[in-house]
Structure formats: structure tokens, C-alpha cells
């Protein structure tokens, strides 16, 4: 009987080999743990960098108070001190005219003569009728005196004397009516001579020799006389500055198209009410034009030295945000959050603008804000750079 074959047991690793294996496992586990920690740290760092880069960095300034005293430039319209449209007061034909447009005339100076044959004949007729009625009045007086004397002597009835006295008084009234008619016709006769109403310049001549002119304003005017020794300059002051305008304040008036030096005028009167359609105050400035530097009917540049009591501020124009809901500026609060503040724009100075409502001197305004800014957004604040400082008010 053969005996079965039994394999010998495998040899056991030595103690040193086991320690080497255990050490290798520990090293591998340590390396794996270290790699995981590094990846987690890198991920956290990436997240922090992403969040930090997502916060917009902005530069801010505080608005500057606008000066209280400021020159307000406005367009104005120049008008003559007074204009007179000269009409004929009697109907006739133009016999002669003596002045043309641009002529300087004095008060009472002859401008034109009219030929008025109808008025001439009516005047002659009126005078003849008056002489006839005067003769009748004289005869009635003699008769009335004679019958009054006879009545006192009892030779005629008193009623007869009274009748002749009444006739005499009626004749007196008739002569008075004739005198009034003759005076009226004489005035019409005198109106055949057209004279200047005051010192001025002829700005229009609308007649020619032989032309028929009608009496009164129903016809066309013959001349227009303008007094330009003084001028009226009309400006419309915006509602914001209307309260600062007062009578007696000076104003500089100039005509850039004529190159004349500015002339100092004075606010003479205001409308004391705003035009409801334009919300402006009509203001009149009187200017002495003795040297004839200005001409009427042109546009003028007017500067009013106003002192306003409103709290306006000046900010750079690049601080404005144009949104669909209106004009805004981006402000940063104490927690570095953005607030989009509505504002009211005043004057535009080019690089800077005036804000009349919506700001205070403690606000921090974002310079050159990106269009992506939104309400409540977190931002980082930094100092403005040199280029931005140069654009500040």
C-alpha cells in the first residue's frame, strides 16, 4: 500500500518582509491622503479666487457743491424800445415821400405828403357853410335885439320877442356845429402831412408816389419808426432759477454774430408768473444803446449773475447711468453695496454736469460705472486713478 503525497506548507514570510509591506501600505495611504487634501485646498482656493474676481472693483468720489453765485447764460431776443406803425389819417394819393428805410428822423420831421382833393373840397364847403350861418346868426341877433326892445316898450307881444330870441340861439348852435365841422376837416387836411411821432429810425417804407392810401388802420401802414436809443432784451429764465431773478440786477448782453463787446443792462421787469407751457419766467432787460452797438430783432447772448439758494452739486459726466427707468448714479453705502439713485440733471458743462436733486455731500459716487451694475450688488472700492481724478469737478 502506497502512502499519499502531502504538499509541504508554504514558507512563512519573515518578520522583516512583513514590516516592509506594512510600511509600503502606510506610505501609499499617506500619499493618497496628501493628494486628496491638496486637491481640496486647490478647489477651495479656486472658489475663493472666482468669488473675489466676481466682485467688481470701483472708484468713488463725493460730489462737489455747486457755487451759489453763478453766471446763467441764456438766449435772448432784442426788441426796440418802441415801434410805431404810421398810418394815414385821411384818404388821398401819395404826393411825395422824404425818407427811406434806415433814415434817422426827429420827432415832428416830415415823412411824406398826401394829395387829398376830396378833403380840400369838403373843407372849403364847410368854411363857406360856416360863413353863411355866421351871417344868419348876426342877422338873427339884430332882429332879436330889436324885438326885445319893442317888447319892453309894449309895441309887440312878448311871445314874438321870445320867438326871435330862440331863433337867434338856434343860429348860434348852428354856427358852433359849423365850427366843429370845419375844425374836423382842418385836422383831416393837416393829416395830409405825415410826421414822425418821435426820434427813431425808419425800418419800413410801404408807399410810393401816386399810390392811393386809405384812412385808418384798415389800410397798410406807410412807415414803421423804431426807437433804438434803448433796447428791450427778453429772456426766458428756467423755473429752477426764477426765484433768483429780481428787478435791478445787472445782466451782460452781447451779440456774438456782430462781434460787439458785451453791454451791461438791468433787469427792468418780469412777468411775475411762469409760462405754464414752458415753465419759464419772461424777463425784460433794458439796455442803453446810445452808441448803436446793438440792433433790434436779433438774438443775443445774455448772462445773468444769479445767486441760488438751492443745494446743487457738480459731478463728472462719466458718473451718469442711463437706464430705461431714467437717469441714475451708482452710490456705494457703508456695507460696500450699490444703490442706484435717481437724480435730476441741471446744466451740462461738458466734462461735468450739475445735479439739482438726488444727491448730498456725503454720498460716494461711482466713477465710470459699468452697465452691469445692479441694485444691492457687492463691490470693492478703490481710490480713483490719475486720469479719473483729472475728470473730477
pLDDT for 54 beyond 70: no
* The pairing of beta strand 200-205 with beta strand 250-254: unpaired
User: In this structure, are residues 215 and 86 in contact, taking their beta carbons and an 8 Å threshold?
Assistant: no
Please give the Cα distance from 312 to 163 (Å, whole number): 91
Strands 56-61 and 379-382: parallel
Is pLDDT of 53 > 90? no
Contacts of 235 (CB under 8 A, 6+ apart): 74, 75, 76, 77, 282, 283, 285, 302, 304
One-letter-per-residue 3-state SS of the chain: CCCCCCCCCCCCCCHHHHHHHHHHHHHHHHHHHHHHHHHHHHHHHHHHHHHHHHCEEEEEECCEECCCEEEEEEEEEEEEEEEEEECCCCCEEEEEECCCCCCEECCCCEEEEEECHHHHHHHHHHHHHHHHHHHHHHHHHHHHHHHHHHHHCCCCCHHHHHHHHHHHHHHHHHHHHHHHHHHHHHHHHHCCEEECCCCEEEEEECCCCCCEECCCCCCCCCEEEEEEEEEEEEEEEEHHHHCCCCCCCEEEEECCCCCCCCEEEEEEEEEEEEECCCCEEEEEEEEECCCCCCCCCCEEEEEEEEECCCCCEEEEHHHEEEECCEEEEEEECCCCEEEEEECEEEEECCCEEEEEECCCCCCCEECCCCCCCCCCCEEEEECCCHHHHHCCC
pLDDT grade for 26, boundaries at 50, 70 and 90: confident
Evaluate if residue 7 carries a pLDDT over 70.
no
- Ranges of beta strands (E only) in 27-68 are 56-61, 64-65
pLDDT of residue 30: 75
Stronger pLDDT, 234 or 4, i.e. the higher one: 234
Which helix (DSSP H) or strand (DSSP E) does residue 301 occupy?
strand 299-307
Q: Are 204 and 102 in contact (CB under 8 A)?
A: no
CA separation for the pair 341, 326 (Å, rounded): 10
Say whether pLDDT at 275 is over 80: yes
Residues 6+ apart with CB under 8 A from 67: none
Among 202, 191, 192, 203, CA closest to 105: 202
* pLDDT in the model for residue 57: 84
> pLDDT grade, residue 175 (50/70/90)?
very high
Q: Higher confidence at residue 28 or residue 155? A: 155
The rounded distance, in Å, linking the Cα atoms of 84 and 162 is: 55
Candidates 356, 251, 359; CA nearest to 306 is 251
pLDDT at 136 over 70: yes
H/E stretch holding 239 reads: helix 239-242
Per-residue CA distances from 230 to 14, 84, 264, 285, 307 (Å): 127, 15, 12, 10, 27
Q: For the residues 372-387, what does the mean pLDDT come to?
A: 78
Q: Is pTM beyond 0.85 here? A: no
Residues 32-44 pLDDT 10s: 777 787 777 767 6
The CA distance from 300 to 287, in Å, is: 12
What's the Cα-to-Cα distance from 299 to each of 74, 164, 346, rounded to whole Å? 10, 74, 23
Task: Kindly report, residue by residue over 216-269, the tens digit of the pLDDT.
Answer: 766 688 999 999 889 999 999 988 788 888 899 899 888 776 666 788 889 999
Amino acid at each position: 500500500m502506497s502512502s499519499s503525497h502531502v504538499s509541504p506548507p508554504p514558507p512563512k514570510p519573515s518578520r522583516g518582509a512583513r514590516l516592509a509591506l506594512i510600511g509600503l501600505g502606510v506610505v501609499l495611504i499617506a500619499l493618497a491622503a496628501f493628494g486628496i487634501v491638496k486637491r481640496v485646498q486647490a478647489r477651495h482656493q479656486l472658489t475663493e479666487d472666482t468669488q473675489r474676481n466676481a466682485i467688481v472693483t470701483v472708484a468713488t468720489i463725493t460730489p462737489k457743491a455747486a457755487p451759489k453765485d453763478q453766471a446763467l447764460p441764456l438766449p435772448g431776443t432784442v426788441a426796440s424800445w418802441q415801434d410805431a406803425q404810421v398810418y394815414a389819417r385821411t384818404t388821398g394819393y401819395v404826393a411825395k415821400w422824404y425818407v427811406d428805410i434806415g433814415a434817422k428822423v426827429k420827432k415832428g420831421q416830415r415823412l411824406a405828403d398826401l394829395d387829398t382833393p376830396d378833403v380840400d373840397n369838403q373843407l372849403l364847403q364847410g368854411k363857406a357853410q360856416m360863413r353863411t350861418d355866421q351871417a344868419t346868426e348876426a342877422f338873427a341877433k339884430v332882429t332879436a335885439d330889436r324885438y326885445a326892445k319893442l317888447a319892453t316898450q309894449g309895441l309887440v307881444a312878448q311871445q314874438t320877442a321870445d320867438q326871435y330870441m330862440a331863433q337867434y340861439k338856434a343860429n348860434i348852435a348852428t354856427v358852433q356845429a359849423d365850427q366843429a365841422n370845419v375844425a374836423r376837416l382842418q385836422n383831416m387836411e393837416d393829416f395830409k402831412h405825415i410826421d414822425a411821432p418821435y426820434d427813431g429810425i425808419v425800418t419800413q417804407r410801404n408807399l410810393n408816389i401816386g399810390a392811393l392810401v386809405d384812412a385808418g388802420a384798415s389800410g397798410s401802414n406807410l412807415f414803421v419808426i423804431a426807437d433804438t436809443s434803448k433796447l428791450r432784451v427778453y429772456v426766458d429764465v428756467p423755473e429752477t432759477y426764477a426765484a433768483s431773478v429780481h428787478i435791478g440786477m445787472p445782466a451782460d448782453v452781447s451779440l456774438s454774430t456782430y462781434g460787439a463787446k458785451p453791454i451791461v443792462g438791468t433787469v427792468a421787469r418780469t412777468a411775475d408768473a411762469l409760462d405754464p407751457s414752458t415753465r419759464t419766467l419772461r424777463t425784460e432787460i433794458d439796455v442803453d444803446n446810445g452808441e448803436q452797438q446793438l440792433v433790434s430783432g436779433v438774438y443775443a447772448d445774455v448772462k445773468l449773475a444769479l445767486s441760488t439758494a438751492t443745494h446743487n452739486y457738480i459731478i463728472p459726466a462719466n458718473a451718469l447711468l442711463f437706464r430705461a427707468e431714467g437717469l441714475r448714479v451708482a452710490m456705494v453705502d457703508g456695507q460696500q453695496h450699490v444703490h442706484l439713485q435717481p437724480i435730476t440733471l441741471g446744466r451740462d458743462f461738458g466734462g461735468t454736469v450739475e445735479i439739482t436733486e438726488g444727491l448730498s455731500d456725503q454720498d460716494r459716487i461711482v466713477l465710470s460705472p459699468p452697465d452691469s451694475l445692479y441694485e444691492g450688488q457687492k463691490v470693492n472700492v478703490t481710490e480713483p486713478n490719475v486720469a479719473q481724478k483729472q475728470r473730477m469737478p
